[in-house]
Amino acid sequence: MAEDMAERVEALESILVEKGYVRPDALEEIIATYEQDVGPRNGARVVARSWTDPAYRDRLLSDATAAIAELGYGGRQGEHMVALENTPDEHHVVVCTLCSCYPWPVLGLPPTWYKSPAYRSRVVLDPRSVLADFGVTLPEGTRITVHDSTAEVRYLVVPMRPAGTEDLDEEALAALVTRDAMIGTALL
């Protein structure tokens, strides 16, 4: 399946290049941008700021697009962001049931599993068992809410700040935040 897809993408790319619709260097530049400049480190900085700055946290929860732009992140696939804060009572998980909508400016390119039909269908029906597959066990009393991304709205999960991190500064906190925690499939 993945190999088929890679072959199809390669075939499509060579046709587009051959016909002059795209320049290969432009494609390379886009890929390099999302692999090197944009990625989960951006989202991690947003999360760390929200942990350390209560006013920023409030802005993030009321208008995530604007709060994320304050840190310099925005653009394609991040025009309408919503931040979801995990608490002991509620845990958020993000999916795109239709395809693979994902907040590129804060998380970079989506992981392969995010695009898999198994994740997309099962997480809606039985989020607790999908989380268990990811090694995440939540207390019985924690409600799990699944959010379906669309072409319009993209989500960033703000994981709970780990205990014992009171002395860490924003940069050290950001280093603790993982991509999967910001999708909701991991805890910190």
Residues with a catalytic annotation lie at: 96, 99-101
Residue 95: is it exposed, middle or buried by C-beta count within 10 angstroms (0-12/13-18/19+)?
A: buried
If the CB atoms of residues 51 and 102 are measured against Fe ion, the closer one turns out to be 102
At residue 144, what are phi and psi to the nearest 5 degrees?
Answer: -105, 125
- Taking CB under 5 A as the binding criterion, the range among 5-13, 39-47, 89-97, 127-135 that sits at the site for Fe ion is 89-97
With CB under 5 A as the contact rule, the residue among 47, 60, 84, 96 that binds Fe ion is 96
Give the chain's length: 188
At position 154, the amino acid (one-letter code) is R
If the CB atoms of residues 39 and 103 are measured against Fe ion, the closer one turns out to be 103
Closest separation between CB of residue 115 and Fe ion, Å?
Answer: 9
Instruction: State yes or no: residue 76 binds Fe ion (CB under 5 A).
Output: no
Tally Cβ neighbours within 10 Å of residue 188.
17
Closest separation between CB of residue 98 and Fe ion, Å?
Answer: 5
- Taking CB under 5 A as the binding criterion, the range among 36-44, 60-68, 93-101, 175-183 that sits at the site for Fe ion is 93-101
What b/e string do you get for 153-186 counting C-beta neighbours within 10 Å, with b at 16 or more?
bbbbbbbebeeeeeebeeeebbebbbbbbbbbbb
Instruction: State yes or no: residue 101 binds Fe ion (CB under 5 A).
Output: yes
DSSP β-bridge partners for residue 90: 143
Closest separation between CB of residue 161 and Fe ion, Å?
Answer: 29
Instruction: State yes or no: residue 187 binds Fe ion (CB under 5 A).
Output: no
Which residues touch 37 (CB under 8 Å, ≥6 apart)? none
With CB under 5 A as the contact rule, the residue among 5, 26, 32, 99 that binds Fe ion is 99
CB 156 within 8 A of CB 77: no
Question: Which residues sit at the interface with Fe ion, rule CB under 5 A?
Answer: 96, 98-99, 101
